[in-house]
Amino acid sequence: MNTSQPVDTAGTTQASRLGSALLSFVAGFVDTVGFVALFGLFTAHVTGNFVLIGAAVAGSGRASVLGKLLALPVFVLTVVITRVYQLRCVRLGMPMVRSLLAAQLLFLLAFMLAGVAAGPFQNEAALAPAAIGLLGVVAMSIQNTASRSVFSKMSPSTVMTGNVTQLAMDVVDWFANAPSAAEPAQRLRKNWPPVLAFAVGALGGGFGYTLVGFYALVLPVAALGVALRRLRG
């Protein structure tokens, strides 16, 4: 007798799309707040810091590069620690999605509270903005690692270049009624919510920080809390 339970494919797909949109909103919001508040520091898109370091060295950017120089090794170290934890969970048969999101939530909350306590920052060469920025880097490094592993079936949530490229290609294929047009249509349904959510998050981060400073991060904290409740595994 087959005792297996039916799989709620529609419910799983809906949760996946919601989770992808929430995480993309978080990434856009946090990256923008970090960039505006911490003198051009990228927390989610850390390779962008190399461009700013190069601009500073060439005399076309801001003088302080401490936070940007530290961002990459801290980001990589967090990826390593997160991945080691994931492999341990696999070996022990433990769920990991909620624990990863909970860890990200804690670091994002620490980023917000530290920014509220110490900001706004006036001296870009000071140690405080660099150190506080690394809390945001750790939070987003966890999300980047999860995006490449446990959330690999979702659209990427931290870097939108690939999503936007694929979205534009699929729109062309859909309108041109290209061969296998069902696949572009399916990808369109998958990729437009995170792109829109990232854009909304980026705009919200800019306006939010201008209005209330680091307190604006309560919105991505809340979004991450919703994702923590909705996503399983």
* Greater pLDDT, 57 or 170: 170
Structure confidence at residue 10 as a pLDDT band (50, 70, 90): very low
Structure confidence at residue 2 as a pLDDT band (50, 70, 90): very low
Q: How far apart are CA 132 and CA 107, in angstroms?
A: 10
Tracing tokens 């003088």 back to the chain, one arrives at 63
For residue 63, pLDDT beyond 80: no
Q: Report how far apart the first and last C-alpha atoms of the chain are (Å, whole number).
A: 27
Share of the chain above pLDDT 70, in %: 89
Identify the burial level of 233 via C-beta atoms within 10 angstroms of its C-beta, where 0-12 means exposed, 13-18 middle and 19 or more buried.
Answer: exposed
Q: If you average pLDDT over residues 151-171, what whole number do you get?
A: 86
Q: If you average pLDDT over residues 109-130, what whole number do you get?
A: 91
Q: How far apart are CA 188 and CA 174, in angstroms?
A: 9
pTM of the model: 0.87
Residue from 146, 206, 185, 165 nearest 22 by CA: 146
Average pLDDT of every residue of the chain: 86
| The pLDDT value given to residue 33 | 97
Q: How far is CA 225 from the centre of its chain?
A: 14
| DSSP state letter for 124 | T
Q: Which amino acid is at 40?
A: G
106: which 2 tokens?
């804690």
Q: Are 217 and 30 in contact (CB under 8 A)?
A: yes
| The pLDDT value given to residue 12 | 54
Q: How far apart are CA 46 and CA 35, in angstroms?
A: 11
Q: To 10 degrees, what angle do helices 66-92 and 48-57 make? A: 160
Q: Are 74 and 43 in contact (CB under 8 A)?
A: no
Cis, peptide link before residue 120, omega less than 30° from 0: yes
Q: How far apart are CA 226 and CA 213, in angstroms?
A: 23
Q: What is the per-residue pLDDT across 179-197, written as a single tens digit (0 to 9) for each? A: 776 777 788 888 888 999 9
Q: How far apart are CA 94 and CA 88, in angstroms?
A: 8
Q: If you average pLDDT over residues 53-69, what whole number do you get?
A: 70
In the three-class reduction of DSSP (H, G, I as helix; E, B as strand; rest coil), residue 43 is classed as coil
User: How many other CB atoms are found less than 10 A from the CB of residue 61?
Assistant: 17
